[in-house]
Structure 1
């Protein structure tokens, strides 16, 4: 298979552009400034010699590569798949290691359903879906082990591997021929890891999976956030520990474990003001304040917490914003704690 193009030289058809699956969880710092991708991202180039010998694989691969923002859309589908099965607002879970075996099996079903909806793909007569007129099984793995139904032997399989801790995923195509499969076990076989991955045509490698904010933070922080029994106390701790980056609605609902999780954030404004912490949303003065301080600007459904301190109008080396009759900057470690200004959010 042809070597992947380097991130610096490849074109950018999948520019993420802070859409459904990108910066909604505060990923800007992880993306390449030129193309909006994680440094090291590899979009594999077509292996036309191998692929044309399997006409179906060639046509399916070409169709997927031709979809607008394909890698970003696969990333968003994977994020939604994991989040919906974790069901954080009801369970408080944010780590796939806490799923039981039945739920892990259901991940594949959920991924198939959401992929068909995202790319407007019809269900297959015998496989998960039809792509460019070909029956394709969609196989999702949390590592690099894919289980193939016995009835899918000889069929095209879309191999998807998601790593929520690294926030990356891979997508490839392989035909499930006997030489890449293990011996039957019950009604299923597994793809031989070395042989199957070597024979696969990889469409995306190390592509960006939208960040799982709670999983990405240090364990001590997530334990401190999820420890209190009260939903309000958990949200307060989230806003104390996650500052200067966007916090998305899904994260807030998982922490609150209540249907009114966003209301808990609004209530936190009053509770945290004495600690100098403001909670900015997407309305009224909040976007102006965030932009002036060089912070991410919240969009609808997201918010941003930050501790402020009063400073002179022209404070050297730090952005400032005027609120009322005073100027404020983002507090640094060691700055004294003082009440936050009232910002109409």
Structure 2
């Protein structure tokens, strides 16, 4: 690590320490939220699911934020607020500013407002929240990054509101007053958005009754990469989109297994298989496909896993296609 990078981290650490020492409520809420989600996986999943909810690929076939209507983008903040409350079971906040503004959450008895922006620094803060805490949330589907932090609303740290609602924004030079719970962390990737156009066109075949074929192409062409439910919904464009994935005549797992491709899901037994063979491990709400080959002498010490009484390795371009083994059933297990 370069010396100036160390200086930046040290400065941030000092700034965070000062914010916590000066504000007991900020410290309480910060420590509580960190204990609820130490890695940030729960926050990241909510943000991924909310963006996918807005895109509504199942009904629209959309995968790109830019294709949303203006009203849908405006509604994003409300959905983030609602979905975070459902995930973390926050209580409703109280009415502040003489009852003119209902706060979104009450956490440990402390009122907290929630503000989301897809543009970093674009949080629109109501003047009625002056003196209260705000949970500032940012997610960018193009960069696959997200942040969430706590901010004590103070007049001297804000730009004057010039819009009709007189809403305020945090001055750029005072963004160091935001106490980050997670900052510029990895957002689960919108797979379809980040594919080369030629590959995406091979997956998103036009026409009706192509849902099953599109799902098969998705897992055939995007291997050893996490694929979320949103991408599967967009490819299938059917209410029973998960049925396109399961074992069965003409379905993705059965068809692709004949080509040597396995599709593992977010279940402990499947995750263990992916981990053992050296493939990408799916997280909550995700699936990963990869091609396997029966282990031979020329595979050397390559990581392997035993399935159906034989040992398998990740296949490379030189390995011929062969029928892959059945994955263990996980019908009684919920996602990890």
What TM-score, normalized by structure 2, do the two folds share?
0.73
Report the Cα distance in structure 2 between the residues aligned to 1:178 and 1:300, rounded to whole angstroms: 40
Report the Cα distance in structure 2 between the residues aligned to 1:147 and 1:92, rounded to whole angstroms: 30
Could you give the per-residue CA deviations for residues 26-62 of structure 1, whole angstroms, max 9, x where no partner exists?
Answer: xxxxxxxxxxxxxxxxx96763434544554344334
Worse overlay, 161-170 or 45-54: 45-54
SS of residue paired to 2:167: strand
Deviation for aligned residue 1:186: 0.8
Matched, 1:306 2:290: yes
Q: 2:147 aligns with which of 149, 163, 170?
A: 170
Change over 3 Å in CA distance of 1:196–1:105 after alignment to 2: farther
Worse overlay, 156-165 or 200-209: 200-209
Change over 3 Å in CA distance of 1:80–1:57 after alignment to 2: same
SS of residue paired to 2:92: coil
What is residue 268 of structure 1 aligned with on the other side?
252
Which ranges in structure 2 are unaligned for 5 or more consecutive residues? Answer: 1-5, 95-101, 329-336
Could you give the per-residue CA deviations for residues 283-314 of structure 1, whole angstroms, max 9, x where no partner exists?
Answer: 9x978875664335678975443334566456
Report the Cα distance in structure 1 between the residues aligned to 2:327 and 2:28, rounded to whole angstroms: 54
Matched, 1:279 2:262: yes
Matched, 1:142 2:125: no
Report the Cα distance in structure 2 between the residues aligned to 1:188 and 1:216, rounded to whole angstroms: 37
Contact 2:279 2:290 in 1 (8 A): no
What is residue 96 of structure 1 aligned with on the other side?
65
Change over 3 Å in CA distance of 1:170–1:317 after alignment to 2: same
How many residues are aligned here?
Answer: 306
What is residue 210 of structure 1 aligned with on the other side?
188
Deviation for aligned residue 1:3: 6.9
Change over 3 Å in CA distance of 1:330–1:77 after alignment to 2: closer
Which ranges in structure 1 are unaligned for 5 or more consecutive residues? Answer: 7-42
Deviation for aligned residue 1:214: 2.6
Backbone CA RMSD of aligned residues: 3.7
Relative contact order, higher structure (CA 8 A, sep 6+): 1
